[in-house]
Structure 1
Amino acid sequence: MIKNICAGIVLFNPNIERLNENINAIKGQVSKIFLYDNNSDNISQIENLVKKNNNLILIKGKRNNGIAYALNKIIEISYNNKFSWCLTLDQDSICSSNLISSFLKYIKKDRVAIICPFILNNDKYTVESMKKLNLPKCQIIVDPMKCITSASLTNINIIRSLGGFNEKLFIDCVDTDINCRIIGHDYKILQDNEAYLLQTMGKAKKIGILNALYSLTNLDFFRKVMNVPVYGDLRLYYMSRNSRYIRKTYHNPSKKVSFTYMLTQFLYFTVFFPINRSRVKIWRAVIKGFNDYKNIK
């Protein structure tokens, strides 16, 4: 079965050490790894890394066309190389050593479009705390926000039949958009809770008082908010724009793209982002994104 599985990693100015960890974690689990580079400044370092690994293929983009475009290129080259499944990965995420072997238990189930792992992001969960949750071994995902692109084992034929990833989104909500279409067409997204992914969302900043409150109360709310991911203003623009596009395009997609949820999230960023960030620029980006959603067609 592994002969039918490849991996694809989208690159943009990656930290080479972290990328190397990423590759080492997955290269023994798949037949081939395709790297699509979005015109990185450190392309020479990436090329040197590729030379040291036999099963890597590097595709160099002439400019940064966004993550959705890169994912479509990876799906296309995977299909042309006769692979049935592609594990899509972010450049800074590390897979568990049992990821693919665990996924194989579900790969032949009917109408499965994606198999994803449990996500350990920004130290909000540890492997130990994940195990204490007593989750089912596998569950069907019905909320499109609860499955991300990174470490998702993707059924190539199904994704192609749905038109691939929406390149006009560029970045953010790309996974939510495809998940909405998957669920809307009665395909399945499975979460395998015996496998996991170590993920970094933005440059995480630990909030001391919230961390202390979590230690004192052990309340799940404080665990979720004690590490704030720090995004640039351009990323906030896409978050605002694309979440509104999802709200307007799909029926009841997820509470996590609702106006109230997104407003609360941007207020949270406003309070807890580093003090040197301009709050005026943050909200200009958010408001511009909110107004620009209609330009996505």
Structure 2
Amino acid sequence: MDNKKMKLAAIVIIYYPDIKDLQKNIFRYIDDIDKLLIWDNSPSDSQTYRIALDGYEDKVEVLTTGKNEFIAYPLNQAVKWCMENNFTHLLSMDQDSLFDVGEFKLYKNRVHKNLGNKNVIFGVNPNNKFRKQNDFLPVNWFITSGSIYDVNIINKLGGFREDYKIDCVDNEICYRTNLNGYRTVVDTKCHLNQIFGNHKKTIFGFTTLGYSPFRTYSILCNHILLWKQYPQQIEKELKKEIVKEYFIYRFVKILLSENRKIDKSMALFYGFVDGIRGVRKNRFC
């Protein structure tokens, strides 16, 4: 593929954002993209989020359905928008993800140089998870935020799994991409500051993310669905994490240190049962 033909849009999905932080995060990459789609998941009866991006008004388009559509649906709408407007690639960003100064420009340039060779999804190095190396690192999966997608191939593969809504959307699209003979690769040199959940230290010495019943259900159910669908692709470490962190330890933490103990315990129960049955339901929404 001719590198000069790459046309890059970005989508940032927001939900009750801190406006100042969001502006700061956007300014770290907006100069190096061709269009920014801001998808607002905040319900229409909440406050309207006016994000001042002076000088970039023509580069920004705000999209919403007036309700929380989570992650997969907005990503599919962004892919559709890219296809209709002749954009070749899509950058996906969380509202609280932050590139270091000048980091995104370097990342984009390295992606340019590595187009082709069946590279379809490019990822970054969140919180320096991966050891840095010169070449792009092929991996089974990585997080959605900071990823650049070849929209034509993603569309060909059927897009993102909307029934997953939010959790494991990143794992699933990467596994499916690899199974279809394409590659998912990480630029280990590109560091992204990423916040995973709302960590809180408890009086017992451990930390808890304090997820809602909906997310408690979603995390366990989706990971089990993922395990059943991609038994060969899912890593041994993630299998252990599903059993230990997302079920056993999560249950203990709920009982010892979190509120809404009954709701969250029921969410774990139904997450396990529905996951084993292979059918996710609209519970705890």
Give the superposition deviation at 1:279: 3.8
1:105 aligns with 2:110: yes
Supply the distance in 2 between the matched residues of 1:229 and 1:159 (Cα, whole angstroms): 31
Supply the distance in 2 between the matched residues of 1:67 and 1:99 (Cα, whole angstroms): 22
Which of residues 84, 88, 96 is equivalent to 1:84? 88
TM-score, normalised to structure 2, is 0.83
- Between 1:184-193 and 1:9-18, the stretch displaced more is 9-18
Q: Residues 83 and 208 from structure 1, CA distance in 2 versus in 1: closer, same or farther, beyond 3 angstroms?
A: farther
Q: Residues 150 and 208 from structure 1, CA distance in 2 versus in 1: closer, same or farther, beyond 3 angstroms?
A: farther
Supply the distance in 2 between the matched residues of 1:53 and 1:227 (Cα, whole angstroms): 40
Give the superposition deviation at 1:105: 2.3
Partner of 1:6: 9
Q: Residues 48 and 2 from structure 1, CA distance in 2 versus in 1: closer, same or farther, beyond 3 angstroms?
A: farther
Which of residues 17, 21, 24 is equivalent to 1:21? 24
Q: Residues 256 and 80 from structure 1, CA distance in 2 versus in 1: closer, same or farther, beyond 3 angstroms?
A: farther
Partner of 1:141: 138
Supply the distance in 2 between the matched residues of 1:12 and 1:33 (Cα, whole angstroms): 16
Supply the distance in 1 between the matched residues of 2:245 and 2:220 (Cα, whole angstroms): 10
Partner of 2:272: 290
Partner of 2:249: 268
Maintained 8 Å contact 1:99/1:117: no
TM-score, normalised to structure 1, is 0.80
Q: Residues 289 and 209 from structure 1, CA distance in 2 versus in 1: closer, same or farther, beyond 3 angstroms?
A: closer
Task: State the AA in 1 paired with 2:21.
Answer: R
Partner of 1:234: 214
Maintained 8 Å contact 2:8/2:89: yes
1:198 aligns with 2:193: yes
Maintained 8 Å contact 1:206/1:227: yes
Which of residues 169, 172, 185 is equivalent to 1:174? 169
Supply the distance in 1 between the matched residues of 2:233 and 2:5 (Cα, whole angstroms): 33
Q: How many aligned residue pairs are there?
A: 269
4+ long deviations beyond 6 Å? 207-210
Give the superposition deviation at 1:52: 7.0
5+ residue gaps, structure 2, are: none
Supply the distance in 2 between the matched residues of 1:161 and 1:200 (Cα, whole angstroms): 31
> Residue 46 of structure 1: SS of its match in structure 2?
coil
* Structure (1/2) with the larger helix percentage: 1
Maintained 8 Å contact 1:94/1:198: yes
5+ residue gaps, structure 1, are: 211-225
Supply the distance in 2 between the matched residues of 1:167 and 1:265 (Cα, whole angstroms): 25
Alignment root-mean-square deviation, CA:
2.8
Q: Percent identity?
A: 24
